[in-house]
Structure 1
Amino acid sequence: MRTDELLNIVQTVLDERKGQYITTIDVRGKTSFTDYMVIATGTSDRHVRSLCEYVSEKVKECGFRPLGIEGDQGADWVLLDLGDVIVHVMTAQAREFYQLEKLWSVDRAKEVV
């Protein structure tokens, strides 16, 4: 599955399942472990878990196997690793605290030779 197709599935499922404030960050050139991070807010711990479960099920239906999921046991932040796309779903409080958009949106400092 191509990265843009995977990204589209993730964004669509999060939107359909009432994920809030869905943000996609292109991190190519900033890190080597993924191309995109998708960040969304869930309304409760249960909603956060459910959103990642829905995304995982949908990509499996499309023939793609997720690499892993972290934080799914009563957590306010669940990470779903899809390789080229990493999905972070958080409660509003966790998202405000960690501020991943701010962290990953900073441009890399230019090297001085």
Structure 2
Amino acid sequence: MEGSTPLANPVLSQATPSRPAPVSTTRPDASETLKLILAQLEDAKAEDTVTIDLIGKTAITDYMVVTSGRSNRQVGAIADRLQKALAEAGIKGVRVEG
């Protein structure tokens, strides 16, 4: 094509893509996890919280925490809040029953 000028080379953006902060692959200590759980339960106004120490009794877990609330709705909200807090702390595979 005569008389036409070539297009200029496009300028690539110099910005680096933002990436989320890496999640730690190490699990926190069981006692630290228990402290996080109990703090979240207290903030959510859970009632009748009982911690069962299973250290040395089973290979599955170190502690079991049982709690209750005033209504089904509150118990569901407590469970959701606790799962979110544990996920933010990098703890996966949390089981909630009841």
TM-score band w.r.t. shorter chain: 0.5 to 0.7
Provide the aligned C-alpha RMSD in A. Answer: 1.5
Residue 46 of structure 1: CA displacement? 1.3
Q: Do residues 11 (structure 1) and 33 (structure 2) align?
A: no
Q: How many residues align?
A: 71
Query: CA deviation digits over 1:71-96, x for unaligned, max 9?
Result: xxxxxx2xxxxxxxxxxxxxxxxxxx
TM-score (norm 1): 0.56
Alignment correspondent of 1:2: 29
1:44 to 71, 75, 81: 71
**8 Å Cα contact 1:26-1:37 kept in structure 2:** yes
More strand by share: 1
More helix by share: 1
**Structure 2 CA distance for partners of 1:37 and 1:54, relative to 1, 3 Å:** same
TM-score (norm 2): 0.64
Q: Distance in 2 between matches of 1:18 and 1:60?
A: 20
Residue pairs, 1:1-113, within 5 angstroms: 1-70=28-97, 77=98
Larger Rg: 2
Aligned-residue sequence identity (percent) comes to 31
Alignment correspondent of 1:94: none
Unaligned runs of 5+ in 1: 71-76, 78-113
